[in-house]
């Protein structure tokens, strides 16, 4: 009987000790951030969503080769008469559904500054698989148009941030 | 509270006079306490387990096969995704194996950086264990505290490597990026913050009488059983077997660091739990020593840009957060490994469930399973 009450007491006492610790934190400011209204800025080294700068890109294809999950595909422009390769991309597609966020493409890119890089953007919301593919073609804004297989055309995705709103390269 | 679950035996119809039957119970794969997608096929007699069969494979991605088609630089990315709670250890084991076959020398600074990152990741990984094990047992508060501290470690990783979970930081030949004075200051700040928190953890959970009663007599693994099933890591050391790869076969210069290996006495769930808590303390010590040892220098060995390993095979193993993680590479001289195998500690630690669960109550399954600290990403690979 005494042992039983001793156990109850020790359990209750440990409970109170635990509460004493939690009580101390009760009066300290909260460490969490209410996400949609407040947002944290990642550190400069953060590897977020891939961005590409087609003006800088020399279409060497090193990024596509370095990628472990074939997330990048591109084709270089071809001179209409000599049929020679021009160091400019004809189109450049990033499949964010495949991206590992490993940074190997950025490391492999030979241009300065990098023409493919991880931005600080971490808010990627897609409503279907097609929206995950971001294709750049001349005349299209980059992180916007997505391929619509039904209409066989590129369309503007809903609620996706445009390139201008994305943070600049670190 | 003197019920010893070790003494419980299944009720037999002959002796009790009642007509009883065993029941097959599926635990998982969507059970929140199985830490992922593990299915336990339990045959129970009343509340006592007669047979337990862990059923794995729900998270199988064929990483070993995938690696045969990836270059070694790309392999690190996939190795990251095995034990996603301590990705640094996976990177390290993979890179050590590649370097062994390549015969590459890693610069001193890179080695110290590897130790710092591996130990910080051990802290982060053990914090997940600490938090989730509390939840398994029924204590929710420690989880919130553990994740607060873990967030700080992840912030450190984000500052340095750019990612929070799958780092791709340790590369064949060295590490990807250097740390600066600001990072070191932040790291020291974290360590100073973290040390007193460990005492709080002890009050919150470790020496809580309710927690003790719930775990101290449950899931006892004798040293002999532990060795027979090939356990490693804190699970093995909790049974009192002193085997730590960091001391038995030092890598990355671990022989120069002063730390003690946490050993348990009985091999119960509580011992396995407490081994990890003590290991966090030791990890803090190692990181402190490593930070003071950091000398300037290169962080990457001079290796060819396209890694082509000589034909042959290499095995190297490290003490990952969950045990002895080994990587075995067979190369035929090509750009990708001919065959690659991971000796995943979780996979081997998990197998012992079928022995130690027998004779336990259903309520203890989660306590035992949680104490083994498995990550299904590594079990299934």
pLDDT mean over B93-119: 89
* Residues B290 and B312: beta-carbon distance below 8 Å: no
Nearest by CB to residue B209, choosing from A11, A31, A104, is A11
> Minimal Cα–Cα distance from A75 to chain B, Å?
22
In a domain, B354, yes or no: no
In a domain, B31, yes or no: no
Nearest by CB to residue B210, choosing from A14, A100, A107, is A14
In a domain, B341, yes or no: no
Position with higher pLDDT, B346 vs A142? B346
Question: Residue B98: which residues within 8 A CB-CB, separation 6 or more?
Answer: B72, B75, B104, B172, B307, B309, B314, B329
Domain range A50-165, CATH class: alpha beta
Q: Is residue B47 predicted with pLDDT exceeding 60?
A: yes
User: How does the average pLDDT of chain B come out, rounded?
Assistant: 85
Which chain B residue's Cα is nearest to A42? B158
Report the percentage of chain B scoring pLDDT > 70. Answer: 94
Task: Tell me the domain boundaries of chain A.
Answer: 1-31, 50-165
Least confident of A35-49, B77-91, B96-110: A35-49
> Minimal Cα–Cα distance from B85 to chain A, Å?
16
| Rounded Cα gap, residues B137 and B276, in angstroms | 16
Q: Does B179 touch chain A (CB under 8 A)?
A: no
Report the percentage of chain B scoring pLDDT > 90. Answer: 6
| Rounded Cα gap, residues B252 and B152, in angstroms | 25
In a domain, B103, yes or no: yes
> Minimal Cα–Cα distance from B147 to chain A, Å?
11
Per-residue pLDDT band at B363 (split at 50, 70, 90): confident
How many Cβ contacts (< 8 angstroms) between chains A and B? 68
The DSSP letter of residue B46 is T
| Rounded Cα gap, residues B244 and B28, in angstroms | 32
Q: Does B181 touch chain A (CB under 8 A)?
A: no
Half-sphere exposure (Cβ direction) of B151: Cα atoms closer than 13 Å: 11
Q: Is residue B73 predicted with pLDDT exceeding 60?
A: yes
Q: Hunting for tokens 């200051």 — which residue is that?
A: B185
| pLDDT tens track for A133-149 | 777 766 555 555 556 66
Position with higher pLDDT, B329 vs A35? B329
Q: Does B216 touch chain A (CB under 8 A)?
A: no
Q: Hunting for tokens 């079990």 — which residue is that?
A: B379
Assign B32 to helix, strand or coil.
helix
Q: What is the pLDDT along chain A (170 residues), one digit of tens a residue?
A: 888 888 888 888 888 888 888 888 888 888 888 887 877 788 888 888 888 877 788 888 888 888 888 788 777 778 888 888 888 777 777 778 788 888 888 888 888 888 888 888 777 777 766 667 777 766 555 555 556 667 776 666 554 444 444 443 33
CATH number at residue B175: 1.10.645.10
Instruction: State pTM to two decimals.
Output: 0.84
| B177 chain-A contacts, CB cut-off 8 A | 45
The DSSP string of B348-379 is HHHHTHHHHTTT-BHHHHHHHHHHH---HHHH
* Residues B225 and B355: beta-carbon distance below 8 Å: yes
| pLDDT tens track for B199-233 | 888 878 888 888 888 888 888 888 888 899 888 88
In a domain, B125, yes or no: yes
The DSSP string of chain A is -HHHHHHHHHHHHHHHHHHHHHHHHHTSPP----TTTS-PPPPTT---SEEE-TTT-----HHHHH-TT--EEEEEEE-TTT-PEEEEEEEEEEETTT-----HHHHH--SSS-SEEE-S------SSTGGGEEEE-TTS-TTT-EEETTTTEEEPPTTPPPGGGSPPP-
In a domain, B276, yes or no: yes
| Total number of domains constituting chain B | 1
pLDDT of residue A164: 41
Q: Is residue B149 predicted with pLDDT exceeding 60?
A: yes
| A46 chain-B contacts, CB cut-off 8 A | 158, 162-163
Q: Which of B79, B301, B307, B317 is nearest to B174 (CA)?
A: B301
Q: Is residue B171 predicted with pLDDT exceeding 80?
A: yes
Q: Is residue B287 predicted with pLDDT exceeding 80?
A: yes
| A47 chain-B contacts, CB cut-off 8 A | 162-163
Question: Residue A129: which residues within 8 A CB-CB, separation 6 or more?
Answer: A97
Strand pairing class (A146-148; A85-95): unpaired
Tokens matching residue A74: 């591109």
Q: Give the DSSP H/E element, type plus range, for residue B121.
A: helix B108-137
Which chain B residue's Cα is nearest to A103? B168
Domain range for residue B152? Answer: 63-305
Q: Which of B279, B320, B256, B290 is nearest to B85 (CA)?
A: B320
Assign B340 to helix, strand or coil.
strand
Q: Does B187 touch chain A (CB under 8 A)?
A: no
| Rounded Cα gap, residues B195 and B229, in angstroms | 34
Torsion over CA of A148, A154, A158 and A162, rounded to 10 degrees?
150
């Amino acid at each position: 009987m005494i042992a039983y009450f001793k156990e109850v007491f020790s359990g209750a006492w440990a409970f109170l000790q635990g509460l004493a610790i939690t009580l101390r934190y009760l009066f300290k400011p909260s460490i969490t951030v209410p996400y949609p209204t407040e947002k944290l800025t990642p550190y400069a080294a953060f590897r977020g969503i891939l961005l590409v700068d087609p003006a800088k890109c020399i279409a060497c294809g090193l990024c596509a080769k370095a990628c472990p999950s074939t997330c990048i595909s591109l084709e270089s422009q071809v001179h209409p008469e000599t049929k020679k390769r021009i160091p400019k991309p004809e189109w450049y597609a990033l499949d964010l559904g495949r991206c590992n966020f490993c940074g190997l493409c950025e490391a492999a890119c030979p241009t300065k500054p990098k023409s493919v890089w991880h931005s600080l953007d971490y808010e990627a919301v897609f409503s279907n698989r097609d929206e995950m593919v971001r294709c750049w073609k001349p005349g299209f804004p980059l992180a916007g148009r997505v391929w619509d297989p039904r209409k066989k055309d590129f369309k503007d995705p809903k609620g996706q941030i445009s390139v201008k709103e994305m943070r600049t390269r670190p | 509270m003197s019920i010893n679950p070790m003494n419980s035996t299944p009720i037999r119809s002959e002796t009790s006079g009642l007509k009883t039957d065993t029941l097959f119970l599926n635990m998982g794969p969507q059970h929140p306490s199985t830490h992922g997608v593990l299915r336990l096929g339990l045959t129970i007699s009343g509340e006592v387990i007669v047979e337990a069969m862990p059923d794995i494979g729900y998270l199988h991605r064929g990483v070993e096969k995938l690696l045969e088609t990836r270059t070694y630089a790309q392999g690190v990315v996939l190795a990251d995704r095995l034990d996603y709670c301590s990705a640094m250890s996976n990177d390290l084991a993979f890179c050590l194996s590649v370097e062994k076959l390549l015969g590459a020398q890693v610069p001193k600074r890179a080695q110290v950086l590897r130790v710092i990152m591996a130990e910080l990741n051990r802290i982060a990984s053990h914090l997940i264990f600490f938090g989730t094990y509390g939840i398994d047992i029924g204590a929710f508060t420690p989880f919130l505290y553990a994740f607060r501290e873990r967030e700080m470690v992840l912030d450190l990783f984000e500052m340095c490597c750019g990612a929070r979970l799958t780092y791709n930081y340790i590369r064949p030949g060295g590490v990807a990026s250097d740390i600066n004075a600001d990072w070191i200051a932040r790291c020291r700040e974290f360590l100073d913050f973290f040390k007193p928190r460990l005492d709080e953890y002890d009050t919150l959970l470790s020496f809580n009488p309710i927690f003790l009663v719930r775990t101290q007599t449950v899931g006892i693994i004798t040293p002999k059983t532990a060795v027979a099933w090939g356990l490693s890591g804190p699970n093995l050391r909790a049974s009192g077997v002193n085997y730590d790869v960091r001391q038995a076969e030092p890598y990355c210069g671990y022989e120069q660091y002063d730390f003690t290996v946490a050993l348990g006495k009985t091999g119960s769930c509580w011992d396995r739990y407490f081994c990890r808590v003590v290991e966090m303390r030791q990890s803090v010590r190692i990181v402190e020593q490593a930070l003071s040892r950091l000398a300037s220098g290169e962080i990457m060995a001079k290796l060819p840009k396209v890694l082509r390993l000589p034909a042959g095979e290499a095995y190297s193993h490290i003490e990952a957060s969950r045990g002895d993680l080994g990587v075995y590479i067979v190369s035929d001289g090509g750009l990708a490994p001919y065959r690659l195998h991971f000796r995943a500690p979780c996979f081997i630690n998990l197998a012992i469930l079928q022995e130690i669960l027998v004779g336990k109550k259903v309520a203890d399954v989660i306590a035992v399973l949680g104490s083994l600290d498995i990550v299904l990403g590594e079990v299934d690979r």
